[in-house]
Amino acid sequence: MQSEFEGRTEQEAIDKAIEALNLERDQFDVEVIETSRKGLFKKGSVKIRVYYGDDSGEEYAEEEEDGEDSQSYNVPESDVERKVIEFVETLISKMGYEGEAAISYRRESKVGISIDSPDSSIIIGRKGKNLDAIQLVTNVYAGNLDPDIKVVIDSENYRMRHEEQIIRSAYRVAESVRRTGRSKLLDPMNPFERRLVHTALNDFEGVETKSEGEGLYKQVRIIPRSDQ
């Protein structure tokens, strides 16, 4: 789940979130979504988005824990799953590539589908853009079959590898920021990727993170903490 709060400073906005949600600070993640400077006739303000609970608000799935729920399920269990598998394979074929789709996991109303293809690098695309497009179209189709289902498309375990790469890169930049005392901007990222960075660096001593820019793809700025 997510909510938005505003205050004269980031800390004031966070304090409002703590009071309104009745949560401890370590129970939610913070993304700064808007900052206005103090002017002659107006007060400065900071607007934050708070993520809490189990909902990340994104299309991607988190890595499954070991156990029964993390098993691979290649055979569709329902007519909806069968139709979604057929849709994905037909879509890949119409794109001009070979590929087979299979159920990789199930969790509540979320279904993971893995694409096995000799053209996986093209299907994934630069920074996963093609994979995201396939996922978006598939979810539109699946939503017409079952409004409660959410489909996560992956290939060659790209999702997990990409998340690990983002976190490693964020740590490297954070180390540089802490060492030099100069802030740095990361490449533009979607909301889920930005949340990975905010969460990974939440307890990283000596730095803090803020999102900058407009639209879906914003940049995360890693800056030295002012209280260091």
Over residues 104-148, the pLDDT tens digits come to 988 888 899 999 999 999 999 988 889 999 999 999 999 999 999
**Within this chain, do residues 91 and 148 fall inside the same structural domain, yes or no?**
yes
CATH number at residue 102: 3.30.300.20
How many C-beta neighbours within 10 Å does residue 44 have? 12
Q: Which of 108, 135, 156 delimits the end of a domain?
A: 156
Q: In whole angstroms, give the CA distance from residue 50 to residue 69.
A: 28
Predicted pLDDT of residue 52: 67
Per the structure, how many domains does the chain have? 3
| DSSP letter assigned to residue 204 | -
Predicted pLDDT of residue 58: 44
Q: In whole angstroms, give the CA distance from residue 164 to residue 148.
A: 29
Q: In whole angstroms, give the CA distance from residue 112 to residue 138.
A: 12
* Boundaries of domain holding 42: 1-55
**Within this chain, do residues 77 and 144 fall inside the same structural domain, yes or no?**
yes
Is there a contact between 80 and 149 (Cβ–Cβ < 8 Å)? yes
**Within this chain, do residues 151 and 163 fall inside the same structural domain, yes or no?**
no
Predicted pLDDT of residue 40: 47
**Within this chain, do residues 3 and 75 fall inside the same structural domain, yes or no?**
no
How many C-beta neighbours within 10 Å does residue 39 have? 8
In a domain, 60, yes or no: no
Q: In whole angstroms, give the CA distance from residue 177 to residue 161.
A: 24
**Within this chain, do residues 116 and 161 fall inside the same structural domain, yes or no?**
no
Task: Choose among 44, 63, 160, 168: nearest CA to 105.
Answer: 63
3-class DSSP state of 49: strand
pTM of the full structure: 0.57
CATH number at residue 210: 3.30.1370.50
Mean pLDDT of the chain: 83
Predicted pLDDT of residue 92: 95
- Looking at mean pLDDT, say which of 36-40, 187-191, 214-218 comes out highest: 187-191
3-class DSSP state of 29: strand
**Within this chain, do residues 121 and 137 fall inside the same structural domain, yes or no?**
yes
In a domain, 220, yes or no: yes
pLDDT tens track for 29-52: 777 777 776 554 456 688 887 776
**Within this chain, do residues 151 and 167 fall inside the same structural domain, yes or no?**
no
